[in-house]
Every structure is written in C-alpha cells, then in structure tokens.
C-alpha cells in the first residue's frame, strides 16, 4: 500500500525552541521534592518561649 499523502505533504514548521545557556534543551520545570532535614524540622518544633517559662530551684 502506498501512502502518498504522508510522503508528499510538507511538514509544519517547528516552533522556535528556547535554548539553555549552553544552547541545549532546558530540563522540564518540575517541583523538586524538598530533601527531608530532620534537624531543621526538629528546630522548627522548638517552643521559643520555653526558656522564659523554665524556672528552677538552685541545686548543688
């Protein structure tokens, strides 16, 4: 079977692409997952007023 249409029809011009700094393609823009940082997470849980509330008797 001959598919003449396919062979003869001129193709659509490609849309102009933005290029990266090195002329190559850009990476797709995706939301990067934030790496878990247990230390920062723990810091955010600190009650900033805890030291104000903390009163002790003297010890030895």
Partner 1 sequence: MNPILCGIETEYGLWIEGRGPGEQIEDATEVVRSYPNPCYVGWDYRFESPRADMRGFSVEHLAVDPEDLKYDACKQLPPAHILRADRVLPDGSRFYNDHGHPEIATRECFSVDEAAQCDLDGEQVVLAAVQAYAARTGLNVKAYKNNTDFHGASYGTHESYLVPRSLEFAELFHAVTPMLVARQILTGAGKVGREHGSPCDFQLSQRADFFSEAANVETLFRRPVFNTRDEPHAEPEAWRRLHVISGDANRMQSCTRRKMFLIRLAIQLALIGEAPKWRLADPVRAFESVSKDAKFDFRVELDGNWTTAYEIIESYLSAAERFDLVSSEERPLLDKSRHLLSLLKSDYDTFSRHVDWAAKRNLVEMYREEEGLSWGDASLQAVDLAYADIDPAESLYQALVDSDQVEAASFSPPQFLSRGVVRAAAVSNWSSYLRQVSWRALTFEIDGQLKPVELRPDIAYPATLWEARNVNEFISLLEGVLSP
Applying CB under 8 A, which residues contact partner 1? Answer: 37-40, 42-43, 45-60
In the bound state with partner 1, the residue whose beta carbon lies nearer, of 27 and 46, is 46
Alpha-carbon gap, residue 36 to 41, rounded angstroms: 8
Give, for 42, the enclosing helix (H) or strand (E).
helix 38-44
Shortest separation between residue 49's beta carbon and partner 1, angstroms: 7
Alpha-carbon gap, residue 15 to 12, rounded angstroms: 9
In the bound state with partner 1, the residue whose beta carbon lies nearer, of 18 and 57, is 57
In the bound state with partner 1, the residue whose beta carbon lies nearer, of 29 and 53, is 53
């Amino acid at each position: 079977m001959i598919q003449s249409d396919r062979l003869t029809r001129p193709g659509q011009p490609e849309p102009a692409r933005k290029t990266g700094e090195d002329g190559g393609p850009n990476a797709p823009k995706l939301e990067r997952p934030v790496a878990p940082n247990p230390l920062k997470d723990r810091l955010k849980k600190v009650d900033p007023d805890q030291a104000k509330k903390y009163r002790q008797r003297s010890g030895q």
